[in-house]
Structure 1
């Protein structure tokens, strides 16, 4: 696959590709999440705090990320997924960068998210300069807490 990719806001036509990525990378969600994702791809004005981004490469959606921009000046990215054929190409970092850029534009003060302990994505977050703020037990597994605070200008 070509190394050139483009990050953009997701549109309703991306639903099947997003669901395919979610089901491979986070199979626990399955079909239960489909209606939820479809609703958040709705471009209506009421959805202005919830966004999906996709990475396109050679006309194919090869990555996705969701972000909820909270009311307390904190944005919460989630569901970062990159197709196996595109891993290591920088797509995950660029998807996070798109979320951060939007969060800054909305006046948010930070992004915060969690990742299961032992997940290889934790190395990416550390390399990108996110702060590990600890871990917490969720069910039977630990989650690593990550944060980046933006400087006010």
Structure 2
């Protein structure tokens, strides 16, 4: 069953707790979403709160959240403003994640389609994202029409001695 998607849901305390829990679980399962495991919910919350403060109908960024059949958060991402009026026609796709209990069920594909639909509804012409090299996720995004436009070798340092490429990908809408 496909998740039910909402763009810019009301960020209640309960939803923020679910978002932080999902982000923590995804990070600790090895997801490339800004942390290296192990990470605590408190550490995630420190980055999450400013991220969510920018989201909403009146904010520069937009949260796209998918809910499972029980109404619980299953997956989410942020369509982030590019930070310049010269780039108002595109958004960064950030923090793409599917809760580990829903991985492998197609939720990621549904999430990417929902992001594209939300972006079109906002009048956005292109979506950009970065991928951590060595994860193989660039193939996932390519399935949805994203193309690699560049990479910076060794830009991401997980730990000393483990540097990864940062891969830039674009989808024209």
Identify the TM-score tier after normalising by the shorter chain: 0.7 to 0.9
Residue in structure 2 matching 1:83, options 92, 95, 99: 99
Offset from partner CA, 1:104-153 (integer Å, 9 cap, x none): 23332210100101224322112222111121131432112111112xxx
Moved more, 117-126 or 13-22: 117-126
In the alignment, is residue 35 of structure 1 matched against residue 46 of structure 2? no
Give unmatched runs, 5+ long, in structure 2. Answer: 29-34, 36-42, 157-162
- 1:131 matched to which residue of 2? 147
Offset from partner CA, 1:78-109 (integer Å, 9 cap, x none): 10110112112222222222222222233322
RMSD over equivalenced CA pairs, Å: 2.0
In the alignment, is residue 69 of structure 1 matched against residue 81 of structure 2? yes
Conservation of the 8 A alpha-carbon contact between 2:68 and 2:74? yes
- 2:171 matched to which residue of 1? 148
Query: Which runs of at least 4 in structure 1 moved beyond 4 Å after TM superposition?
Result: none
- 1:56 matched to which residue of 2? 67
- 2:38 matched to which residue of 1? none
In the alignment, is residue 100 of structure 1 matched against residue 111 of structure 2? no
Give unmatched runs, 5+ long, in structure 1. Answer: none
SS at match of 2:131: strand
Conservation of the 8 A alpha-carbon contact between 2:5 and 2:66? yes
Supply the distance in 1 between the matched residues of 2:3 and 2:124 (Cα, whole angstroms): 27
Supply the distance in 2 between the matched residues of 1:31 and 1:67 (Cα, whole angstroms): 19
SS at match of 2:93: strand
Relative to the length of structure 2, the TM-score reads 0.73
Relative to the length of structure 1, the TM-score reads 0.82
Conservation of the 8 A alpha-carbon contact between 1:11 and 1:41? no
Conservation of the 8 A alpha-carbon contact between 1:8 and 1:55? yes
Moved more, 22-31 or 120-129: 22-31
